[in-house]
Structure 1
């Protein structure tokens, strides 16, 4: 499992490939202006120095601007309205209900209720969703964000869950799928999840953002 996350796709959002083009165009324009200013100050330079300076300046600016965009700029309000990429990074609290049946003090079987903590690492092109409970830890394997003008955002992701105690009587390593619907304030979400391959249960979760 990659610690800094995995790539995710976006449906109905901005095409990522266009961003690289615009960043390169911006870097090229700024590079031209810098070289023009240098020529005004120091006069004409040999042609090979013009080529070297232009290449180095454009490349450096491209890397710097793209780094800032990937880590921070895309999360700002201005870019959010244009790109339609929700920022889900941060810490979330989680209240869950599983279809797994558990007997209460009166020997009546009820759906199992549990709590957990969610940490999401998200950059422009990668995401990692980690959910930890008292007994297990799950990490996302793949993810997709779906934008809809009516329903706003849905995040679909698959995960692998590993119990903290591999000899636990009930828990086994298993995989599953989750469908997360972000509320319009982007501060809470409702989630449906489906476990397969080792633990065939379903359930719901309610997430509330703690930090971003």
Structure 2
């Protein structure tokens, strides 16, 4: 399931809500004015007009805000200029992932390849990793805008073996990924526990 994520180092989300509320008030006022002007014009032309109050309520500030927020949440925040101002990276898409476990005594961990799929909008995100023998999904995440390192994605996840993989056990883990400025590659570390004690590095490239 997609879940909320924290944004650190970017524009405060509450401030975005205030901007949208102010814009909604202005847009709503202009729409009401334009509609009333149209009614007056129709009457001036001798046309029969009837403007039910429900029409005015439909273009009220609350409705306009809802529409603006939906558009902003799904599309506007992704526009490069807007994303640059917000300091939020659009990481959605498919990433080819290579895992390199750290050597440990008696460890059976081997290098692996997988596909990471990230779904993201302004409010929610989900990081899904198909590693061949198992799959994992994020449950908590945070996106950090660092002026030195760039964008970093930190998240915890739950990994579950695929059916038939009896030698593997479900476990929880944590990963930190740092993305290049062009958002085409990334690298980071992962740490597993609670069922599979292992750790290593990850390299990503956008498909």
Query: What TM bracket, shorter-length normalisation?
Result: 0.7 to 0.9
Q: Deviations over 1:91-139 (max 9, x none)?
A: 0001111136699xxxxx9961110001000010100000001100000
The equivalent residue for 1:106 is: none
Unaligned runs of 5+ in 1: 104-108
SS at match of 2:102: strand
1:185 aligns with 2:182: yes
How many residues are aligned here?
199
- Select the residue among 71, 74, 81 that pairs with 1:68: 71
What RMSD, in angstroms, separates the aligned Cα atoms of the two structures?
A: 2.5
**Structure with the higher strand share, 1 or 2:** 1
For the 8 Å contact 1:100–1:112, the answer to whether it is kept is: no
Q: Give the alignment's TM-score, normalised by structure 1.
A: 0.85
The equivalent residue for 1:158 is: 156
The equivalent residue for 2:202 is: 205
For the 8 Å contact 1:141–1:157, the answer to whether it is kept is: yes
The equivalent residue for 1:125 is: 123
- Select the residue among 73, 92, 97 that pairs with 2:95: 92
Distance 2:197 2:172 in 1: 9
Distance 1:186 1:29 in 2: 36
SS at match of 2:5: strand
The equivalent residue for 1:146 is: 144
- Choose 14-23 or 83-92, whichever is displaced more: 14-23
